[in-house]
Structure 1
Amino acid sequence: MKILVVDDHALIREGLRQVLRGLENDVDVLEAGSCARAFELAQQEPELDLVLLDYHLPDMNGLEALDVFGRQHPALPIIVLSGSVNPRVMQQVMQKGAAAFLTKSGMSDELLSVTRLVLAGGIHMPALPRIMGDEVTMAELPSSLLTPRQEEVLQLLLDGYTNKEIGRMLYLSEETVKNHVSSILRNFGVTTRTQAVLAANRHGYAGTGRPQMAPDDAS
């Protein structure tokens, strides 16, 4: 497993490296102190599994970096880290396709839990406070409605389940779930799972409220 940590403070990079070692014994943590170096490493390491990206970097902010990663490595999941909680930034980061947004003041256990979820193909939606007069603009729901099965998949997607977990819960193959997710993305006119979740929330869809599967059950 290869994870790229992008932060301009060496002490924070080292701290994240120590925490990420809790994922598994052979995790390989790469470090970059700038976005430019991060893009170089991402090109050099095609087997990269995840990026932990600081929002505030000297050469580029997190939104700009997400754009570059999205163009060059669209399948690479990214967790954005920030030292402050700004509702507008949180909304923008998730709209840009980040798999998760976490604050640096969070606990190590939370980082590991969210990292495991993202590595398994899931997304972590932060609590996004409503900003008066600055609502997120999402694609309008198209005339073609979701099928009942697609709505079931969407509801579990809203709960943060991975494709594998959704397949087990609905007795579907993982490939079938991927096809349903692709159809959901097309219906909402978006390109990422995160954008689909945000669009679904805007149009009144809600999760099932079921508890997350235990780690042993999700493997």
Structure 2
Amino acid sequence: MKILVVDDHALVREGLCQVLKGLDEQVQVLEAPHCARAFELAALHPDLDLVLLDYHLPDMNGLDALTIFGTKHPELPIVMLSGSVNLRIMRQVMAKGAAGFVTKAGISNDLLSALRRVLAGDVYLPPELLTASGTPSAQDFSTENNAPLLTPRQEEVLYLLLDGRSNKDISQTLHLSEETTKNHVTAVLRCFGVQTRIQAVIAAGYHGYTKSAPLA
């Protein structure tokens, strides 16, 4: 398992490195003090499993960084870290395609629980957002109110996306070339009016799609 931690405070990065061993003793943690270095490391390590991204960084805010990660690495789950509980920022971060939002005030076990869910292909919504009025709706993740019209093949691809499967896994399961799978994933994102796989998963949930639907 390989995780990238992006935070401008060395002590925070060191602390997270210790906490992340709770996921796997052999976890490899890469560290970046700013977004420029984070983008370099993400390009050098295409096998990254997860990114922990601080919202407040010296060279870029979390929303802008999410946009770049989503464009360059749409399959890479990003969990945003923040020292404050701001519902507006939480909603913006989740709508931008983050796989989760965790406050630094939480305890280690809460962080590990959130990361396990994300690594399993789920999306983690913080309790503050779940209990607040104005919780994210389908309109936050899609430009259309009606359910998208997917072809049968696109629906098969979508269900595998909901299971957290990579393009390679989808290709093997459906006996498709990786290029064909990539085209289907792109079509699914376009149907939901979103830019990243995480946004598609969230939007699909609001349109009634659930995990583990049987393939034809």
Whether TM exceeds 0.5 here: the answer is yes
* Match status 1:5 vs 2:43: no
| 1:192 positional shift | 3.5
Change beyond 3 A, Cα 1:88–1:198? farther
CA contact (8 A) 2:3 2:50 kept: yes
Counterpart Cα distance in 1 of 2:4 and 2:37: 11
Counterpart Cα distance in 2 of 1:114 and 1:81: 12
Aligned to 1:170: none
Counterpart Cα distance in 2 of 1:49 and 1:194: 14
Change beyond 3 A, Cα 1:143–1:19? closer
Aligned to 2:20: 20
Counterpart Cα distance in 1 of 2:191 and 2:173: 19
What do the CA deviations read for 1:20-67 (whole angstroms, capped 9, x no partner)?
A: 011112111111111111111112222221110000011100001111
Aligned to 2:99: 99
Structure 1 runs of 4+ with >6 Å offset:
none
Counterpart Cα distance in 2 of 1:142 and 1:175: 29
| 1:206 positional shift | 9.2
Aligned to 1:66: 66
SS at match of 2:74: coil
Query: What count of residue pairs does the alignment treat as equivalent?
Result: 194
Aligned to 1:88: 88
The residue type equivalent to 1:139 in the other structure is: T
SS at match of 2:58: coil
Moved more, 184-193 or 13-22: 184-193
SS at match of 1:60: coil
Using structure 2 for the length normalisation, give the TM-score: 0.71
Aligned to 1:217: none
Aligned to 2:145: 141
Structure 1: runs of 5+ lacking an equivalent: 165-173, 209-219
With CA pairs under 8 Å and 6+ residues apart, which has the higher RCO, 1 or 2?
2
* Match status 1:52 vs 2:52: yes
Q: What aligned pairs does 1:91-170 form with structure 2 within 5 A after superposition?
A: 91-126=91-126, 127-128=129-130, 129-130=132-133, 136=140, 138-142=142-146, 162=164
Structure 2: runs of 5+ lacking an equivalent: 167-171, 175-180, 212-216
SS at match of 2:81: strand
Using structure 1 for the length normalisation, give the TM-score: 0.70
| 1:100 positional shift | 0.6
* Match status 1:39 vs 2:43: no
Change beyond 3 A, Cα 1:143–1:17? closer
CA contact (8 A) 1:50 1:119 kept: yes
CA RMSD of the aligned region, Å?
A: 3.7
Q: Percent identity?
A: 58
